[in-house]
Amino acid sequence: MQLTLDLPEAVFTALRLEPTRFLGEMRLAAALKWYEARMISQSKAAEVAGVSHEAFLLAAGRYQASAVQSTPEELVFCRRNV
């Protein structure tokens, strides 16, 4: 599927990105946000971003986004039940 967006030139210069690089970063940002909001899984987020699962996890770290969707309470529960 193809999607067309009209964006002002200033967007590319403000971020110092060429349009193709900007598109990749925009896909990654959307995927990270949807993943953080628990709307999609890690594997689906990687697919949306157009990167490997490993590259998605590395990008999460680069953007200081959590790669874990479990709450602290869920982690404690899991640890107690191992």
Residues 43-72 have pLDDT tens digits of: 999 999 999 999 999 999 998 887 776 667
Does residue 55 sit within a domain? yes
Give the CA distances from residue 12 to residues 5, 8, 17, 31, 39, in Å, rounded to whole numbers and listed in that order. 13, 8, 5, 20, 28
Sequence-distant (6+) residues with CB within 8 A of 17 are 25
- Residues, the chain: 82
Confidence of residue 75 (pLDDT cuts 50, 70, 90): low
Domains: count for the chain = 1
User: Which of 75, 31, 76 is CA-nearest to residue 57?
Assistant: 31
Q: Which domain holds residue 57?
A: 9-80
Q: Per the domain annotation, does 34 fall within a domain?
A: yes
Q: What percent of the chain has pLDDT over 90?
A: 45
Is residue 66 included in any domain, yes or no? yes
